[in-house]
């Protein structure tokens, strides 16, 4: 009876209840910390050097074609009332621009990151839900319905403001223009192309868009975005997908094409080039700029010195710190158990 009582009231004698769980108590002694810092520092310096060199080897060619200066060929097109204006941008390469070359367009002072802009789309519509073709969500306003109350598909500011300048690159070989072939496949994110955006399963695609109108800024309806490739239409058009993935910062670039085919698979050879621009996209009204960028990439992406430098700085700091600690340690010889 008494023993029973004892076991009933006595607290459990387990390691957990007695706060005596076996525990590792790291002791940060000089013998661990200093070599540790050195090792980490060296590793970081190594990574930093690799990143830096990789970044150094990347060639980038950037050209502004907004046409602000009178000398620019695109000056004539900068007047927004001028429709279907084409201008050209000439440049020459003194060395081989190593391939594969990526062709980007860039916009600055353009706030794709604004919230009201970003939410102005209908995800259900863009995933191919036909109900939302009839009645787009109100977030798309003021691009929900047109003046005649026809639903706009794809609705919203984001889709409406899709970038619509066109580019054609020619190499001037002996005075003749040789078209550099562009590859427009796989420039969009895999998830966007395969999961998030879907066309309605209606054939032909055009029928799905019956009773809807194209966004007012667009010149062609969504099902006719790419006349050359019927599978590259509707919401899974690569250019459309690239545009719909909003940029994080107001100065951004987006991938337009790759140069991977024919004579240019290994890069752009030295020579003169002419870029023919179908100038449609107005940016001067909000103080924006447009540019094109040619770049190749390394294993770590496009040219970016920052990451390499950051690694180098941190790595060197670690090494410096370990030296300082070593000096202090040697001078005072803290006892180990302190």
Partner 1 sequence: SRKVDSRTIYVGHRPCPTTEALIPPKFCDNRIVSSKYTVWNFLPKNLFEQFRRIANFYFLIIFLVQVIVDTPTSPVTSGLPLFFVITVTAIKQGYEDWLRHKADNEVNKYLVTVLEDGRRARKESEKIKVGDVVEVVEDETFPCDLILLQSSREDETCFVTTASLDGESNHKTHYTVPDTEKNLESLSATIECEQPQPDLYKFVTVFSRCVVFFRSLGPENLLLKGATLKNTQKIYGVAVYSGMETKMALNYQGKSQKRSAVEKSINAFLLVYLCILVSKALVCTTLKYVWQSRPGQDEPWYNQKTQKEKDTNLYLKMFTDFLSFMVLFNFIIPVSMYVTVEMQKFLGSFFISWDKDFFDPEIQEGALVNTSDLNEELGQVEYVFTDKTGTLTQNNMEFIECCIDGFQYKYADSGTELDGFCVTDGPVSMLQQKAGREKEELFLRALCLCHTVQVKEATGQGDGVGDGMIHPADLRGFIASSPDEVALVKGAMKYGFKFLGMESKNMRVMNRNNDVETYELLHVLNFDPVRRRMSVIVRTKSGDTMLFCKGADSSIFPRVRQEEVDRIRMHVERNATEGYRTLCVAYKLLSSEEYDQADTGLREAKLALQDREEKLMAVYNQVETGMSLIGATAVEDRLQEEAAETMEALQGAGMKVWVLTGDKMETAKSTCYACRLFQRSTELLELTVRTLHSWAKSKPVSAFSVPPRSWSSANQDYGFIIDGATLSLVLNSSPDSNSSCYKSLFLQICQNCTTVLCCRMAPLQKAQIVKMVKNSKGSPITLSIGDGANDVSMILEAHVGIGIKGREGRQAVRNSDYAIPKLKHLKKLLLGHGHLYYVRIAHLVQYFFYKNLCFILPQFLYQFFCGYSQQPLYDAAYLTMYNICFTSMPILANSLLEQHICMEVLMDNAALYRDVAKNAMLRWGPFLYWTLLGVYQGLLFFFGVRFLFSNPALQDNGQVFGNWSYGTIVFTVLVFTVTLKLAMDTRHWTWINHFVIWGSLAFYMFFSFFWGGIICNQKRVKQIKIYILSLRFVT
Binding to partner 1, residues 192-251 (CB under 8 A): 195-196, 242, 245-250
Told to check if 148 binds partner 1 by CB under 8 A, we report: no
| Structural contact between residues 125 and 134, judged by C-beta atoms closer than 8 angstroms | no
Within 110-129, which residues bind partner 1 (CB under 8 A)?
110-118, 120
Q: Min. distance of Cβ 181 from partner 1 in angstroms?
A: 16
Please report how close the Cβ of residue 204 comes to partner 1 at its closest, in angstroms. 28
Q: Does 46 bind partner 1 (CB under 8 A)?
A: no
Q: Which of 36, 46, 142, 211 binds partner 1 (CB under 8 A)?
A: 142
- Among 285, 333, 335, 337, the residue binding partner 1 under the rule CB under 8 A is 285
The residue among 186 and 230 lying less far from partner 1, judged by its C-beta, is 186
> How far is 266 from 93, CA to CA, in rounded Å?
15
- Measuring CA to CA, which residue among 190, 198, 268 is closest to residue 233? 198
Q: Which of 182, 282, 291, 316 binds partner 1 (CB under 8 A)?
A: 282
- Is position 19 an interface residue for partner 1 (rule: CB under 8 A)? yes
Separation of alpha carbons 39 and 93, rounded Å: 43
40 interacts with partner 1 by CB under 8 A: yes
Least separation in angstroms between CB 309 and partner 1: 9
How wide is the angle at C-alpha 326 spanned by C-alphas 324 and 329, nearest 5°? 110
CB-based contact 287:122 (threshold 8 Å): no
Interface residue with partner 1, options 73, 252, 274, 326 (CB under 8 A):
252
DSSP state of 196: I
Q: Specify whether the CB–CB gap between 122 and 136 falls below 8 A.
A: yes
Q: 176 is written with which tokens? A: 């003749």
CA–CA separation, 93 vs 6, rounded Å?
92
CB of 174 to partner 1, least distance (A): 31
Binding status of residue 104 toward partner 1 by CB under 8 A: yes
Cβ 66 to partner 1 shortest distance, Å = 14
CB 104 within 8 Å of CB 302: no
The residue within the footprint of partner 1, chosen from 13, 81, 149, 227 (CB under 8 A), is 13
End-to-end CA distance of the chain: 52
> Is residue 11 a contact residue for partner 1 (CB under 8 A)?
yes
- Count, residues near partner 1 per rule CB under 8 A: 77
CB 125 within 8 A of CB 154: yes
- For position 6 contacting partner 1 by CB under 8 A, the verdict is yes
What minimum distance in Å lies between the beta carbon of 188 and partner 1?
Answer: 7
Burial of 104 (0-12, 13-18, 19+ CB in 10 A): buried
């Amino acid at each position: 009876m008494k023993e029973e009582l004892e076991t009933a009231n006595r607290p459990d004698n387990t390691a957990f209840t007695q706060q005596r769980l076996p525990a590792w108590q790291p002791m940060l002694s000089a013998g661990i910390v200093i070599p540790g810092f050195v090792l980490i520092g060296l590793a970081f310096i190594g990574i930093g050097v690799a990143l830096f060199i990789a970044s150094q080897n990347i060639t980038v060619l950037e050209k502004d074609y907004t046409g602000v200066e009178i000398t620019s060929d695109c000056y004539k097109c900068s007047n927004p009332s001028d429709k279907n204006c084409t201008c050209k941008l000439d440049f020459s390469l003194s060395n081989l621009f190593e391939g594969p070359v990526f062709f980007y367009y860039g916009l600055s002072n353009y706030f794709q990151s604004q919230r009201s802009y970003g939410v102005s789309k209908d995800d259900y519509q863009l995933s191919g839900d036909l109900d939302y073709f009839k009645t787009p969500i109100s977030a798309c306003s003021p691009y929900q319905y047109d003046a005649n109350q026809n639903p706009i598909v794809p609705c919203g500011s984001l889709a409406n403001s899709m970038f619509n300048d066109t580019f054609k690159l020619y190499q001037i070989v002996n005075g003749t223009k040789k078209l550099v072939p562009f590859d427009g496949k796989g420039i969009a994110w895999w998830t966007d192309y395969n999961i998030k955006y879907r066309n309605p399963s209606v054939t032909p695609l055009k029928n799905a868009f019956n009773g809807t109108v194209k966004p007012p800024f667009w010149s062609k309806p969504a099902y006719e975005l790419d006349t050359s490739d019927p599978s590259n239409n509707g919401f899974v058009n690569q250019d459309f997908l690239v545009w719909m993935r909003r940029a994080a910062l107001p100065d951004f670039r987006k991938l337009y094409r790759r140069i991977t085919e024919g004579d240019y698979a290994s890069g752009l050879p030295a020579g003169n080039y002419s870029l023919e621009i179908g100038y449609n996209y107005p940016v001067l009204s909000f103080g924006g700029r447009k540019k094109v960028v040619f770049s190749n990439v390394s294993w770590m992406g496009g040219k970016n010195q920052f990451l390499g430098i950051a690694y180098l700085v941190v790595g060197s700091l670690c090494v410096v710190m370990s030296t300082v600690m070593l000096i202090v340690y040697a001078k005072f010889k803290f006892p180990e158990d302190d």
